[in-house]
Amino acid sequence: MSELYHHGILGQKWGVRRFQNKDGSLTAEGKERYMYANRARRAFKTKADMDRLYNTLSKEDKRLLGDDNNSKEWLKAEEGEYVVKRFIKRYGDVPVAALDIMTTTKEGELTVAIMTDPKHRGAGEAAKLAEKGRKWFDKNADRLNATELSWGAYAENKASRHIAEKTGFKYNKRASDDEWSVYDYKRK
């Protein structure tokens, strides 16, 4: 005869879940835990597309995105929790432009990171994604407890600065310097 034994942990309360209320809904801790897990999972799901797109960029393009090490990856897997929303434009299976809305260390602020395959620049794909991202932010800012969307571009990156202005971001003179131009968008 086979027997199965299960021993609990000292102090464990059977049927009590740390991240769930008695009615099955999530506690505040549970919501936060699953939110970060889902963000990381969603970012990882599109990582291959993002890396494929990132690898089309030149060393100079990567530097303009802030990657002075010219790595082979757009985002490390453990950084996926910082991606709040990702938009990718594809032609068939090929990603040609992408926009990430990410968390920052500043309370109530999200930031934008955008890139376009060099072969598809000038076609307006990045501007369409930026507009889509801005509209998404307008709808979801309350849920995210965010008041501002920030766009940083190297001062010499005219295309990025142009797209920011074209999609409703306003130049922030106080946050900008000789190297970086910062644009802000405050929800309407």
Q: In this structure, is residue 102 part of a structural domain? A: yes
Closest of 137, 135, 148 to residue 109, by C-alpha: 148
What domain count does the chain have? 1
Q: In this structure, is residue 165 part of a structural domain? A: yes
Q: In this structure, is residue 92 part of a structural domain? A: yes
Q: In this structure, is residue 21 part of a structural domain? A: no
Q: In this structure, is residue 145 part of a structural domain? A: yes
Q: How far is 174 from 184, CA to CA, in rounded Å?
A: 11
Domain CATH for 135: 3.40.630.30
pLDDT for residue 30 is more than 80: no
pLDDT at 165: 94
Place of tokens 């969603």: 42
Let me know if 42 is exposed, middle or buried by CB neighbors in 10 A (0-12, 13-18, 19+).
Answer: middle
Q: In this structure, is residue 10 part of a structural domain? A: no
Q: Residue 113: which domain range?
A: 28-186
pLDDT digits (tens, 9 = 90+) for 134-170: 999 999 888 888 889 999 988 888 999 999 999 999 9
Q: In this structure, is residue 14 part of a structural domain? A: no
Q: Angle 56-86-131 (CA atoms, 0-180°, nearest 5)?
A: 95
Closest of 73, 78, 70, 68 to residue 54, by C-alpha: 73
Place of tokens 């032609």: 91
Q: In this structure, is residue 178 part of a structural domain? A: yes
Question: Pairing relation of β-strands 109-116 and 94-103?
Answer: antiparallel
Which of the four pLDDT bands, split at 50, 70 and 90, describes residue 15?
A: low
